Amino acid sequence: MSRARSIAAVVALASSSRALAVPLQDALDPAGPQAQHLVALWDLMLAMSTVVFVLLVGAAWIAVLRRTRREIETPDLAHSEQEHRRLTRIVSAAVIVSALGLAALVIATIATDRALAGLPLQDALHIELTGHQWWWEASYDNADPSKVFTTANEIHIPVGRPVIFSLKADDVIHSLWVPNLHGKKDLIPGRVATHTIRADRPGIYRGQCAEFCGYQHAWMGLLVVADPPDQYAKWEAHQRETVSTPSDPTAAAGQHVFESGTCAMCHAVQGTTANGRHGPDLTHVASRMTLAAVTLDNTPANLAAWIEDPARIKPGTNMPGNNLPPADMGALLAYLATLK
Ligand code: CUA
């Protein structure tokens, strides 16, 4: 791709609405037991708050209208013993009803909290999830170290099987939130937090960093893809595969650009000499739906624009720009496209 064309791609991108081909998150569309508990609590709170709101506004209107009329008709009534007792009864009843309502919400909240913590964790999948400015690193644990693999910004999980996340942060505080599956949990530097989820129906669930973590906090997305178990097993086996040198000469030249240039200082491609740990592992980058932490659809034009000038797409990003000769850029894109 020529430099002029890749600049045109950047401009087209900057002027587009960045409408991604992946679904948006929806906290009211639960796909797992924990999101279901949270939606039930939300529904209860919304219903009770609506009733209280309607009653209060209604009572306020009645009070305003009646007081004006009664003050004109019976000016001494407000000071009578009888009226005083009547108001005391009304206020006492209102206080008791309010306290009972709040107590009911406290009990419902505690019950929800216990239900969230009570997810059965037999046969759980363990994923170590690390927050970086501004992307997610996911390492799939295994008792056999040779079976551990790492991916970024898009994680797959098997439907019906619980997942235990160990949450870490590399730089500042981030927060994991996949609204269709669970509530939020912070990722704090120097600490390991645990978060559990289970997806009960297949789908793509968008997650979002929910703690302000700097300039590109809003573009720190994560995709959780819940696959049927057999499909997940295939994905997992594929992720463990390393890559071999491409047979296509252009792509092979691209691998040389990758390994001999700056790419390999920050990115790893398993099975090659590229072993950088600062940026996302790119072993299977071509199989991911998005780029730059759910900022761009994973298309060749977007990838070229990103490699050339990442700061134009995500100002503040740690990835530097790459002013490559057009032939090298073309070869690099051909190589990255082989990393399925
Ligand atoms: Cu990471 Cu906000």
Ligand 1 atom closest to 210 (CA):
2
**Number of structural domains, the chain?**
3
Ligand 1 atom closest to 211 (CA):
2
Task: Report the distance separating Cα 202 and Cα 229, nearest Å.
Answer: 10
| CA angle, 226 then 231 then 236, to 5° | 85
Best CA proximity match to 223, nearest among 174, 268, 289: 289
Residue 77, domain extent: 33-117
105 and 178 belong to one structural domain: no
270 and 213 belong to one structural domain: no
Q: Are 32 and 207 in contact (CB under 8 A)?
A: no
Ligand 1 atom closest to 133 (CA):
1
pLDDT at 1: 44
pLDDT tens column, 169-206 = 999 999 999 999 999 999 999 999 999 999 999 999 99
Q: Is residue 25 part of a domain?
A: no
70, 93, 117 — which closes off a domain?
117
185 and 233 belong to one structural domain: yes
239, 268, 303 — which closes off a domain?
239
Task: Report the distance separating Cα 141 and Cα 236, nearest Å.
Answer: 12
Ligand 1 centroid–CA 220 distance in Å is 6
pLDDT at 242: 87
> pTM for this one?
0.85
147 and 74 belong to one structural domain: no
pLDDT tens column, 252-266 = 999 999 999 899 999
pLDDT tens column, 40-80 = 999 999 999 999 999 999 989 998 888 777 666 766 666 77
- Check if 293 has its Cβ closer than 6 Å to any atom of ligand 1: no
Average pLDDT, rounded, for the chain: 90
177: left (phi over 0), alpha (psi -120 to 50) or beta: beta
153 and 248 belong to one structural domain: no
pLDDT above 90: residue 83: no
Phi, psi of 250, deg, nearest 5: -65, -45
Q: Is residue 26 part of a domain?
A: no
pLDDT tens column, 125-139 = 999 999 999 999 999
Ligand 1 centroid–CA 219 distance in Å is 8
Q: Is residue 175 part of a domain?
A: yes
pLDDT tens column, 12-40 = 555 454 568 788 889 999 999 999 999 99
CATH code assigned at 271:
2.60.40.420
288 and 199 belong to one structural domain: no
Residue whose CA lies nearest to ligand 1 atom number 1: 174
